Chain A
Amino acid sequence: MTMEQPTTPLLRIEGMTKVFAGTRALDDVSLELRSGEIVAVVGHNGSGKSTLVKILAGVYTADGGTVTLEDEDSELPTEIHIIHQDLGLAAELSAVENIGIPKYQGSAAWVPFRARKERATATRLISRFGSRFDVTVPVGRLAPAQRSIIAIARALDGWKHSRNVLILDEPTEALHASEVAVLFDAVKKLAAEGAGVIFISHRLDEVVELADRIVVLRDGRKVADESSAGIDQDTLVSYVTGVAAGEAESGRAARATGEVVLEVENLAGEDIEGIDLTVRAGEVVGVAGVLGSGREALPALVFGSRAGSADRFEVRGEAYERRSPSESIRRGIGFVPGDRARLGSVRPLTARENVTLPELDSLTDGLGAISARRERRHVAGLITKYEVRPPRQEQVFAQFSGGNQQKIVFAKWLRNEPTLLLLEEPTQGVDIGAKQALYTAIDEAAARGAGILVCSSEAKELVRLCDRVLVMRDGRVAAELSGEQLTETRLVKEGYGLGDEGAQ
């Protein structure tokens, strides 16, 4: 093919803009991708990476900007193939069948296919990446890296030429280090054949190794677009966080802490390998870590909504063996899950019904009936206190805005002054005003003597809220930061596994 004109990019994105309800998810982002190039797009959650992918995939329509593909009008136009994080494979089907899913449209769907030829094609596609495995077993039984390769093979199956664009969205999320190497080899081979690859990731160490060029997004803007040869990890981290390397961020005044409210030894479960954890009354402990580090599994494990085991598990000095949500609530534990719509609320019920759901006994009269008057008065007080807008307790939960929904969820758990409050992404999808109100509520709860565990993907939030932060990696606590050390830069570095020894 025509390799002697590397000046025309395969894909050119210019001035891409996307606005969601007043916030700019993407703000004037431009990007060029040439044949044979691997470009990494990195950034925090909410930096605009996934919005960019979704616009290219056609899920969202951009509010401004253009996307130009090379040879758009020719007979063999450049195509964009996207492999999403979940790969889109059917786990019960074999590699052969998965690769066949997008084929045979229209009348071809009624022609019996030739099993042996199909199998040979699948094997050939997969062997391009140097790996051989059984293509006839259900892909659910294969290793995660092998599944990624099947997804890539499927994307490549229809290619009429190699000058196409492949976009990989967080492909290494579920992979071990050795598997990442297999995947990277596959991607490099593809680029060597002339494809352009966009690699979305938040693992900074991998990115430097793989990519030719690194594009950093922050708050919807492109803040860096540099060759990976000249970039070091410190610079990369400072691009991602927006804080110059070595600059100290303000910590917070230490809180007065009391007795131990949660004492856990060797807590283990899905995604968690074994964690020791101590939370004191009045203390705010943060948990950081990239997706898949176990950060998002921890609060549910402590709350008892996920099965787990522990050598020792004590709440306020009392052993707590058979953990379940209802028992946790009885012992004064509250849990604000990250998924507000699915786990944090019952959307069709009213604000009032949501707030009082965990504990109704204190609102009942002698006959065991809920006293409507007392319940309404109680909820009205909470709605005023947490400034829920509009202040209508009979409004259905789903009809509140994101920030006000979260205020209602906070009211639900804070109303009975919990001993231990577990927060997962407490300000996700919440506007700035509500965020401040929620931070204030957390500070107040701590001042009242609650022990608080905050799991968040936002480093800034953890620095703002926490007395100390545990950084998780691969299901374990990799580092604990407090006082002077608790800065955004350090948090991000530790989360990506670029501790002090990596930076020096």
Chain B
Amino acid sequence: MKKTEAIPTAAVGHEADELPMGGGWRRRLSFQNISAIYLFVVVFVIFSILVPGTFLTPGTWLGIFDAESLTVLAAIAVMIPLVAGVFNLAIGAEIAWAVMFVSVLQASWDVPFWIAIPITLACGALIGLLSGLIITRLKIDSFIATLGMSSILLAAKWFISDNRQITGLDEGFREVARAGWVLAYNSQGNPTFKITLPVMVMLGVALIVWYVLERIPVGRRMYAIGYNAEGARLSGVKVERLQIGTLMAGGVIAALAGVLMASKLNSGDPTVGPSMLLPALTAVFLGSTQFKGGRFNVWGTVLALYVLAVGIKGLQLLGASGWVEDLFYGIALLGAVALSRWEVTAKRLGAVKRATTFRRRKAESAEPPAAS
């Protein structure tokens, strides 16, 4: 009987605390689980020391919170289909389209804003439906399909607007993004601490998406599709229908971001939108390394986006040039994806180690197999 495959028991002893089980504050607060929060603390301390005068003012923070809430919406819109294994690279173009469409509806066709908004959202759903049908029926890889959709949407945006800034929107429209819930006033009676509508919308959307993904069968099925579409199908999941649904939901959320953007700018600006794809994707991938051990998740995405935004803000306050934002997001995207890949392989290695030691231990303790 060969004994070479036996593993020393010392190596087996510590396996229990490697197992990814629920519970344990140490695990929850581990760097691996919430690295973005530690990163945030580091960023915060560094910039508080370097640029205390500007970095530590509430105005800076509220500005970031408000301004980035639309990018968070974009990130959530990217994340939903991604959970079900579908890339949506058209998200920037979908936002750009919504910005122009909601403006053109008001300025050129005299549609009141409270009708223009639902029309734009419905149009977002329609775009999602179209992308979904292209991906599932024509069997085109989502990467390619949404890249094509993106180009088409940008062309459509140009077509309806001549690629010119659209002004003269409805009176009430600009108030949509400015509305909010004022928590504190300064001595002059001006608001110093205000939670704006975009922030509330963002938090509301995040809450709904969190509920759907974590608490409802649909969310469970979406994760199953993302990890193994064929396996999910054999477990009775309607893969194509659900994937189309995720793209429609993402389309509506992207349209929502576009509407709020137009309201905030009080005009249809043909340049906004496409640049939101990169931060959104970065936040989604960085977010997947947070909280849920490798799964795409809402709160990880929200946290990741704000950590990245704070980092960029700090660099800008330091006087960095405009290109620093692109550089930062590019590096962060590569880093985040590498981190999530590394996490998966590390986990797989651990699993293989455990599986083999488990079996070897059994083989060792069992009677040797009969000789014939």
Contacts of A343 in B (CB 8 A): 230-231, 234
* Cβ A22 vs Cβ B363 within 8 A: yes
**Number of cross-chain contacts by CB at 8 Å:** 108
**B233 touches which one: A23, A325, A353, A401 (CB < 8 A)?**
A325
Asked whether any CB of chain A lies closer than 8 Å to the CB of B274, the reply is no
The one of B22, B234, B238, B351 that contacts A394, using a Cβ cutoff of 8 Å: B22
A342 at the interface (CB under 8 A from B): yes
Given contact pairs A398-B348, A431-B359, A19 touches B234 in the complex (Cβ within 8 A): no
Q: How far is the CB of A344 from chain B (nearest CB, A)?
A: 7
Does residue B139 face the partner (Cβ distance < 8 Å to A)? Answer: no
Instruction: Report the contact-size class of chain A (Cβ under 8 Å from the partner).
Output: 35 or more
Q: Within 8 Å of chain A (Cβ to Cβ): is B175?
A: no
Q: Report A-chain residues with C-beta under 8 Å of the C-beta of B356.
A: 21
Residues of A within 8 A of B20 (CB): 394-396
- Complex partner residue of A22 from B5, B217, B348, B350, CB under 8 angstroms: B5
**A303 CB contacts on chain B under 8 angstroms:** 234
Interface string of B268-301 (1 = CB under 8 A from A): 0000000000000000000000000010000000
Looking at the assembled complex, report how far the CB atom of B360 sits from the nearest CB atom of chain A, in whole angstroms: 7
Q: Across the interface, do A401 and B355 meet the contact criterion of CB distance under 8 Å? A: yes
A345 to B224, CA, bound (A): 9
Taking CB atoms, residues of chain A closer than 8 Å to B22 are: 394
Contact mask A346-360 → B, CB, 8 Å, 1/0?
111100010011111
Tell me which residues across on chain B come within 8 A of A437, comparing CB atoms. Answer: none
B2 adjacent to chain A (CB < 8 Å): yes
Of residues 92 through 124 on chain B, the ones whose CB sits less than 8 Å from some CB of chain A are: none
Question: Out of A19, A337, A358, which one reaches B5, CB within 8 Å?
Answer: A19
Interface extent on B, as a size class?
35 or more
Residue B329 interfacial (CB < 8 Å): no
Could you tell me the distance between the alpha carbons of A401 and B223 in the complex, rounded to whole angstroms?
23
Q: Given A361-B217, A399-B355, A348 and B227 touching (CB < 8 A)?
A: yes
CB contacts (< 8 Å) of B238 on chain A: these are: 326
Within 8 A of A (CB), among B348-365: 348, 350-351, 354-356, 358-360, 362-363
A395–B231 CB distance below 8 A: no
Fill in one digit per residue for A384-410: 1 if any B CB lies within 8 Å of its CB, else 0: 000000001011101111000000000
List, in ascending order, chain A residues with CB within 8 A of B19's CB: 392, 395, 399
Name the residue on B nearest A364 (C-beta): B217
Known: A21-B363, A22-B5, A358-B235. A342 touches B227 (CB 8 A): no
Q: Which of A326, A392, A395 has the most CB of B within 10 A?
A: A326
Known: A329-B235, A342-B228, A346-B235. 8 other contacts (CB 8 A): A22-B360, A326-B236, A337-B234, A346-B223, A348-B228, A357-B221, A396-B20, A399-B351
Interface residues of A (CB under 8 A from B): 19, 21-23, 63, 303, 305, 325-326, 328-330, 335, 337, 342-349, 353, 356-361, 364, 368-370, 392, 394-396, 398-401, 412, 431
Q: Which 5 A-B pairs have the closest CB atoms?
A: A22-B363, A360-B217, A329-B236, A369-B215, A399-B351
